[in-house]
Structures are given as C-alpha cells and as structure tokens.
Structure 1
Amino acid sequence: MRPVPKCASAGHNFEQLAAFLADEKLELAPIAADDGEVLDLVTDEIVQRIRSYPKLGSPSLGPDGRFLVGAAIGTREDDKERLEHLVKAGANVIVIDSSQGNSTYQIDMIRYAKSRFPGLDVIGGNVVTMAQAHNLIKAGVDGLRVGMGSGSICTTQEVCAVGRGQASAVYKVASVAKDYDVPIIADGGISNSGHIVKALVLGASTVMMGSFLAGSHEAPGVYEDQGGSRVKKYRGMGSLEAMTKGSDARYLGDTLKLKVAQGVVGTVADKGSVLKFVPYTMQAVKQGFQDLGASSLLSAHNLLRSGELRFEVRTGAAQAEGGVHGLVSYEKKPF
C-alpha cells in the first residue's frame, strides 16, 4: 500500500508553501483543501523560479493609505443611485460601462458624475475614433477605454458591422487624448506580451485583459475536463447567457424582447496561477521596451510622436518568418 503523500494547505501563502517544502525536505507536494481535494501541485522548481522573478510593484494606494478601488455603472437613470452608493462605499474611480460610449446617455452620465462628485475620476468608453474620443473628453471624462469588437469572445464586428482594428483605434484615439492629458486603456485584442508592448507604444497607458487572465487559478469559475484538457468557462458580456444575467443594459437591449447577441460562450485553457505568468509577462514587456530603446512609457510615446519609432505592416510571409518555423516539432514553454 502506498503511503499518503504529505500535502500543503490551500490556505498557505507562497512563503509558507516554500517553507513546507524545505521543512519536509520535499521536491514537490500536493496542495489540498480542507476536505482533502487536491487543488494544485507545488514544486521546489516553481518556488525557485518565482523567487528569481523581479518583485511585483507596490499596490496602488490613495492619500488615505487605502487601496484604490474602481467600480462600474451603466447609463440608465437608476445608475445614478448606484453611483451614490459606490462613492459612499469608497470607490475612487468610476467606469461608465457601455459597448458604444459615444452616446447622449453616456455624455449625460459623465456630466452628472463630474458635477455631483468633482474630485471623482470617471473613465468613459468604449470608443474607437477621434471624434468619439473628443466628445467624451469635452464632457469631462478623465480616462478612455478603447476597443470595439476586438475581444476574443466578442462578435460585434460580425453581427453589427461596427468596430475597428485595435491598433488603429488605440493610435487614433491616443492622438487626440494626448492633447488633453487623458490616458487611454486598450481594451481587447491582448493575448500575449507582444500585444501589450504594441498597445502601450501606440499610445495606451495601460491594457485590459480578459481571456489572457481567464484561465488562471485566480479567475472566477471552476475547471472542467474537455477532451483531456483542463479548461475554464469564459463568456462574453454580449452573449445571450450573460444577457439573461443582467448584462443586456450594456448593449441597449434590456427592454427588447428579441435580444441580439454580440458575444459567445467558450472555454480557455488552464494557465496556472497569475503568480507564475504575470511576472513573466511583466518582464517580457520590459524586454520589449528595452529592445525598442524606450526607458519608460512616456519615452515610448515620445519616440512614436517624433517619428523615430515606426510601425510596418507585415506580409503573411513575414509573419511566418517571424514565428517558429522550419522544425518538425517543438515545445513552446515560455517559463
């Protein structure tokens, strides 16, 4: 009969897991819940790898020393009451959540929020053109989300024929927003560290990531087995499933009997913990900036505006050449 392996507790933090391996003189150990269910596996190799990564940045804190917190509202009349409760609860930033941000509803909500709470930061969107951005900036927005139909689970461009290539959208909106010192968020189209580098260099100050993080241990949802692969469910807010749960107001469909889906429900592969791949991603982005000769986000933006940094459209042959090629087989293991 095989002995039961010693298990680490799922409630342990990283240092406690490392100490458990060292104290028990183990190279690996299962991580188990209180009921005995094995949730993960920790190895000495993983511990050493995480410790070799650069330390994560300091948390974003407000003047009162508390974490900065953002929350979302819609553009309906009852969202004004939600806004009051969120600010009272301590929200520092409000995101006005809409698939098409350049509407009279959002402009009115921006003006209301800024007049009611002048010191509150308000992020508007989503927008993809210079004209759309200009309208929201005039209304008083403090930041912009850029992207329409570019998400991995979004079908807006297919269903509604509305949207724009994410690189073009980020570049065009940033060219307007910079004149007003309004930062922009690249929302959609991010599936690897290279995409993050492109978005930031094109003018974004930060990026939003959905599918990129959806397969992580820390993301909502439970793991399922699909054809021998460990996956997690991932749904678009424009999918019919999400609309039945209340997201239809975002797509102007809460009063319609016939709802038009602008998203799908799918699955994403297990990526493990964000403690593994987020530090790797951060380092890859830094390496990209180093190769470009940019020491900071501001310097990258200045390189683009000066014309010193240029983008080229790659042919299909160039894209194939730039990827792994000429091999019978290979293993792609980023970290």
Structure 2
Amino acid sequence: MNLVVDNTVDVNGNEKNDIGMVVIRGNSVVMIEALEPVNKTHFSQSEQQPYFWAASSTTLVSSSIGSSGTKIYFSWNSGILVHFRAMDGILLEDGFPADRLFNQGYSYTYDDVIFLPHYIDFPTDSVNLRTKLTKNIDLYIPCVSSPMDTVTESSMAVSMAALGGIGIIHYNNLPFEQAALIRSAKSRRIPFISDPIFKSPSDSIDSIDEFASSPCVFVTESGNSKSKLVGVVAKSDWESLTEKEAPVSEYMLGSPFSAPSNYTFDQAAAFLAAKKLDYVPLVSELEGEVVDLFTTADVQRVCGYPKLGVPSLGPDGKFMVGAAVGTREQDKERLEHLVKAGANVVVLDSSQGNSIYQIEMIKYVKRTYPELDVIGGNVVTAYQAQNLIQAGADALRVGMGSGSICTTQEVCAVGRGQATAVYKVSSIAEQSGVPVIADGGIANSGHIVKALVLGASTVMMGSFLAGSNEAPGTYEYQDGHRIKKYRGMGSLEAMTKGSDARYLGDTSKLKVAQGVVGAVADKGSVLKLIPYTMQAVKQGLQDLGAPSVESAHNLLKTRVLRLEVRTGAAQVEGGVHDLVSYKKKSF
C-alpha cells in the first residue's frame, strides 16, 4: 500500500507533530519511527531535526517539497518494523541483518553470535516445530540423531521416530547387520527397545544375572528371537528352584499371552491392564518371532515422561528410519539391503561431500530408486552445496569439523564455523527448495534455535544424544560420574572398524585420525531430554517473534531479525558467572 507521510499527518489521518520521522536514501525509505504495533503505527517527518528511526522493505515512490514541508510517498512491503535511530546524522543501529553480518570474512560459531529479541504476539504453546527433513519428508520436531556407532542404532531410531524426529542408523557394520537394525526399528510402535534373554528348551540358566535386564527369560525353539515362542521362565520361579542347573523345559511355564508387535504404547499398556499381567512379549504376526518385551515398569517409566507428540510414520504406517551409506562401489550393494529393509531415507556419509564419488552416488540413487530421498553432504560452502543440489540431493547436511569429537579443522586445516556454514549453505539451498540439516556443534537448546533461525530445517545431534539410555553401549563410572563412550567416526578406533570410507580413505594406506574417543555424562532417556529441549526451542522462537521454523527463516531473510557478534566477555556474561558454586539442572 502507498502511504503519505508529512510533518503534521500520520497514516491514520490524525495530526501528529512529534510521533516519528522519515529519511530517504536514493529511492528507498530507510528510516521510520514505530511507537506502537504496526496497525497503529504513526509516522511524521521533520526537515529540521535529523533524529530518525528505520524500517525495512520500504520503497520510495515519489517526494515533493512544498510550503507545508516535504511529503514522501512510499510503498510498505513487509509490514514489520525494525527499530533504529540516527542522531545528528550518525546511524545507531540495533544489530545487523544476517546478510551483512556473515559477509565480513569471519567464520562464526553459534556462541559467537546472538539474536536480538523481537515482538511477541502469540503464546509459546502455539509455536509449531513441524519442518522438512528433505523435499518430500516432514518431521514434527526438527531433530535427527547422527549416524554414529555410539549414537544411533535401533533403540535410538525408535525413540526419535516416536517423538516426531528421525534416527539415521550408522554403517560402521556389515550390510546385513545394518539392515537388521532397520528392520528391528521399523517392526516396533512403542518408543523404546528392551533386551530380553532367550533360551532353548535344553538350555539352563546359569546365574541370576541373566534376569538383570528383564523380569523373565523367553524360551523359543532355537534359543533366539527368530523362532517360535514355547515358554517363559519368571525370575521368581528360577529363584525357588533347588536344582538350578536343570534344563528350562523342566520348569518353564507354557507359552504366555502375547501381543502384536505393531501395538502402540497405549495399546500395549491397555493389554497389560486388561489381562492383569506384569509383562507381555510383543510378537511379529508374520514371522512369529519375539520382537520386544513390554512390562508394567515400562508403563510407569514412560508415563513419567512428557507426553509423546506425533510420531514420524512412513507410508506403510511404520516408524520412519534413515540409514547412512558410503560412496564407494561396494556401497551400492549395501544400499540394496537398506532399501529392502525399508529405509525411508539414506544419508551419503562423507566428511567432504563435494566429490565426484558423492555426485555419482547421488545420481545412482535417484536413477535406481527414484522414490528414495537422498541426503548429501557434508558441505559448508555455497559452491559445494550447488554441486550436490544439481546432482539431485533432496537435502543437504552442513558441517565440517564442528563436532565435539571432530578434529578435521585442526588436522586438515579445512572447515568453517558452524553458524556461518549454516547461513551460507541455507541461503543457496533455499533458492532450490532443498532443506538443510545443521550437523555438529549442538551443545544446548540455544544452539538449536540459532541453527534453525539461520536457515536450517533440522539439526543433527551426536554428543547431545550420546550418553542417553537409547545410545549404544554400556554405562561405566569415572570419578563417580556415570558415563558412556562416545567416539568420532574419524577416530582411529572407529576407522579401524570401517568408517575410514567416510573420509575418502584407502584401507591399504596409512590412516590419519580426524576424531577422538571420549566419554559423555549419562543424560537419561531421550524420551525426556528431547521434549524439554523442544520446549526451550519454542521459547526461543517466541522471543524472536517466530511462530514456526518457516516464519523464522522469513524474518531473517527480510532482515527483520537482527544479530550481533558477542565478545568473549559478553559470552561469559551470558552464561552462569560470579557464583562460588552452582548446580545446573535443565529440567
């Protein structure tokens, strides 16, 4: 709409002499004062005093000077004001637009930058986190678990899908093993995986330790989950035996009640309550194998967590699960196993994605499996991104050397600060409608907010999820702290197992580590961690005036949202400081 502004009349036709002021540069109106919400904003212009306020996305139509002062005609495009003031001709700005901040030759991390708050006109609960993983896959929360062998296997993939995100199963294993992990995750509809013990009828139970992870032992024809269930041994029954070395066939109970493996959590809980059972095996209706064990303890535990959101389900009604794959010739055979196992999306897992190997692999995947979405990466520059987009990538994974266990920038002298990388790649990918996954550098909910606002549609998390109940590995104790191992896929330990292909290495040559092996603290269950984290993300987006991830992108693109670079002292001030001691508990 065209507005008329002069020194006596505001946009509503009311006489206002001191409400605000306008200044023009060339053919653009660059400064306007806004004292109230947009629909009640008043403007005025003074020829005498150069005290100006600014707005974005306004274009001058014409101006004229008469006896009553200067009249300025301009078009109002964005409808949202950004507040600035110039005093005595010197422009005093509140922050910088992203395109200006990230074009100064500096490589910024998430901690280097801070967003300035905007206008709130909606409650936190109305913030919608639904987003795009790829061109064709939607998620209800912007969370992806990293394809690392200490982060994502079946249990993590199940929990992430149950929460509305997705897990990407690593490929530091044999093709049939990775396919089995995918099948295991997709065969479930409850948000966790138990670890039941199996025996054949002729086996004996040697120790009470065999009941450590389960209240019972299942007896099947072959002694594993992939055969018919014939009986069950309860812990209390075994403890009452006088001859504990006896074969389980002599004292097991007959085949117990079972429930279909595709039962949801609520259905399985209702089944237990109706039958007045303490546990029930979940059995595949097709193969008849025991998929999982569901207990009343599970019901009590999960009911203590925040309510589950909308799960990520594929067209087949099963949990969506992703899988990583390499770019070598033999990975084409692996890819076939993954597709047959039901993988919903594949991630081409490479530390430097702009290679002929990945470009050819993207083309192969799109040619051979046109319905399968493929995520390319990793990239950190617009040039890298453009090559993979042109090859046909459905999404891009952004990050190089930013992970807590990654030493690529130190060892190879290449990479980029993650905030800069996400902004630069997102800017070019957005033009082609290709979503971006911010991979690496996520240590807290604030980093997630920054990644999303800077252009990412989702964030991929490694160390943030490592150490959780659902992460692979067993807990250990170190200096009184409960920990789990967490290693980079570029560490020598992981590369020896096979991940060197990710770094374009040759197994016959010397291996150079681009990662380390470490440990992370126990984080509990992701079924609790992620919901609380997402609530914090919602509050962050609310402070920025963005009711959705898409709106956050638009506010940044239209230069409404502003950023500043934080000094070292500002970063210290922004954290906990000046205390003798404290205990940090996020939820």
Which residue number in structure 1 is paired with residue 170 of structure 2? none
Where do 5+ consecutive residues of structure 1 fail to align?
1-7, 21-40
In 1, Cα distance between the equivalents of 2:517 and 2:581? 32
Number of the residue aligned with 2:443: 191
- 1:230 deviates by 1.1
1:164-206 per-residue CA deviation (whole Å, 9 max, x = no partner) reads 0000000000000001110010000001111000000000010
Q: SS at 2:353's partner residue?
A: coil
How has the CA–CA distance of structure 1 residues 116 and 47 changed in structure 2, closer, same or farther, with 3 Å as cutoff? closer
TM-score after normalising by structure 2: 0.49
Aligned to 1:26: none
Tell me the equivalent position of 2:537. 285
Aligned to 2:475: 223
Q: Distance in 1 between matches of 2:335 and 2:403?
A: 27
* CA deviations over 1:104-141 (Å, ceiling 9, x no partner): 00000101111111221110000000000000000001
**Which letter maps to 2:330?**
D
Q: Which has the higher helix share?
A: 1
Pick one of 309, 317, 338 that aligns with 1:65.
317
Q: Deviations over 1:136-173 (max 9, x none)?
A: 00000100000000000000000000110000000000
Within 1, Cα distance between the matches of 2:466 and 2:578?
A: 32
Percent identity (aligned): 77
Higher mean C-alpha deviation, range 131-140 or range 221-230: 221-230
> 1:190-209 residue pairs with structure 2 within 5 A?
190-209=442-461
Letter in 2 for 1:124: G
Query: Alpha-carbon deviation of 1:311?
Result: 1.7
Counterpart of 1:272 in structure 2 is 524
2:584 to 315, 324, 332: 332
1:95 to 310, 332, 347: 347
How far apart in 2 are the matches of 1:143 and 1:204?
10
AA paired with 2:567?
Answer: T
* Deviation at residue 328 of structure 1 after TM alignment: 2.3
Cα distance in 1, alignment partners of residues 565 and 499 from structure 2: 37
Structure number with the bigger relative contact order (C-alpha 8 A, sep ≥ 6) is 2
In the aligned structure 2, how far is the partner of 1:91 from the partner of 1:329? 48
Correspondence 1:102-251 to 2 at 5 A: 102-251=354-503
> How has the CA–CA distance of structure 1 residues 47 and 142 changed in structure 2, closer, same or farther, with 3 Å as cutoff?
closer
- Aligned-residue RMSD, C-alpha: 2.6
1:307 pairs with one of 555, 559, 579: 559
Secondary structure at 2:564 match in 1: coil
* Residue pairs, 1:25-104, within 5 angstroms: 50=305, 53=306, 55-104=307-356
Counterpart for residue 260 of structure 1: 512
Distance (whole Å) between structure 2 residues aligned to residue 80 and residue 9 of structure 1: 37
> Would you say how many aligned residue pairs link Structure 1 and Structure 2?
303
> What amino acid is the match of 2:436?
I
Deviation at 1:325, TM superposition (A): 2.2
In structure 2, how many angstroms separate the alpha carbons of the residues matched to 1:215 and 1:187?
Answer: 18
Runs of 4+ residues over 4 Å off in structure 1: 8-16, 46-49
TM-aligned CA distance change 1:188 to 1:11, over 3 Å: farther
Higher normalized strand content (fraction of residues): 2
Per the alignment, residue 5 of structure 1 pairs with none
Q: Cα deviation per residue 1:186-244 (whole Å; 9 max; x = unaligned)?
A: 00000111100000000001011111111111111111111111111111100000011
